[in-house]
Amino acid sequence: MNSLWRTLDRATLRDIGLVCVADAIVGASFGAIAVSGGLDAWVPVVMSLLVFAGGAQFAAIGIVLAGGSAIAAVATGLLLNARLLPYSVAVVDALGSRWRTRLVGAQLLTDESAAFALQHTDPARRRAAFWACGLALYVVWNISVLLGALAGSAVGDTEALGLDTAFPVVLLALVLPSLRERRTRNAALVGAAVAVASTPFLPAGLPVLVGLVGLLLARWPSLNNQDKPQGNQAEEDCEAQA
């Protein structure tokens, strides 16, 4: 473990520390909101230990607290975590070669741990960055969720502290980087419109799943052409004329 930390430079360790601080705040708010919403304290704690995915946990708990079914909550969480599949391919070398190590690494795979691993090209640094970030976040996240759950039992009304805004803020933070592409923005807008329009007619949790119809728009050929830079499009036109 000591060699793991010695492999990394101070700047990387500092950045990992800052990410841990930010996630600690989010984890505490998650625990507090879940308990104040009526769930037992062990629910967010066990969920954090087993799932360890902030966005999926917020979405699932949000659906349950809104009266949605467990099936809708699980399905939404799985859809959010599907974004981690390409990450696992990109950082598979950092997880090690033994299946036991890869199993643990899969549990520690998050947006942050993958991002720190992809910053390095050296295999040793990639591996060290992934495991240092993953292990640190796992410990910090679960401790903060536990503390938040205990605080939620005492506070009662988390809306008075503004913690209820953590749900939409976390989910918005997850999708913002993807909205740079026009076709992704259009697909998100269509999905949001469909979800909002179907909310009065469907049980809680299902409008989110129905909103996935917006993904069909992301495959629209004309939108794919709109995402190409004008310079590249002009070059393709010249090549076609030649």
Q: Tens of pLDDT along 26-51?
A: 888 888 888 887 888 899 999 999 98
- How would residue 230 be classed by pLDDT, with cut points 50, 70 and 90? very low
Decide which of 179, 196, 212 is a domain's last residue. Answer: 179
Residue 84's CB is within 10 A of a number of other CB atoms, namely 15
Beta carbons within 8 Å of 112's beta carbon, 6+ residues apart:
19, 23, 133, 137
Task: Give the closest residue to 217 by CA, choosing from 193, 197, 188.
Answer: 188
User: Are residues 19 and 91 both part of a single domain?
Assistant: yes
Confidence (pLDDT) at 231: 47
How many domains, the chain?
2
Please give the Cα distance from 134 to 19 (Å, whole number).
11
User: Are residues 68 and 46 both part of a single domain?
Assistant: yes
Extract the tokens encoding 49.
């230990």
Question: Residue 157 sits in which domain range?
Answer: 2-179
Does residue 242 or residue 87 have the better pLDDT?
Answer: 87
User: Are residues 132 and 227 both part of a single domain?
Assistant: no
User: Are residues 61 and 119 both part of a single domain?
Assistant: yes
Decide which of 179, 213, 234 is a domain's last residue. Answer: 179
Q: How confident is the prediction for the chain on average, in pLDDT?
A: 77
User: Are residues 17 and 91 both part of a single domain?
Assistant: yes
Confidence (pLDDT) at 177: 65
Q: Show the CA angle centred on residue 208, arms to residues 207 and 214, nearest 5°.
A: 100
Confidence (pLDDT) at 137: 93
User: Are residues 36 and 121 both part of a single domain?
Assistant: yes
User: Are residues 233 and 126 both part of a single domain?
Assistant: no
- Average of pLDDT values for 74-98? 82
Confidence (pLDDT) at 242: 45
Decide which of 179, 194, 214 is a domain's last residue. Answer: 179
Task: Give the closest residue to 144 by CA, choosing from 114, 166, 176, 115.
Answer: 166
Query: Residue 238 above 50 pLDDT?
Result: no
User: Are residues 161 and 231 both part of a single domain?
Assistant: no
User: Are residues 185 and 237 both part of a single domain?
Assistant: yes
Beta carbons within 8 Å of 213's beta carbon, 6+ residues apart:
190, 191, 194
Please give the Cα distance from 52 to 74 (Å, whole number).
14
User: Are residues 221 and 108 both part of a single domain?
Assistant: no
Q: What string of H, E and C letters represents the secondary structure of 180-232?
A: HCHHHHHHHHHHHHHHHHHCCCCCCCHHHHHHHHHHHHHCCHHHHHHCCCHHH
User: Are residues 155 and 43 both part of a single domain?
Assistant: yes
User: Are residues 83 and 24 both part of a single domain?
Assistant: yes
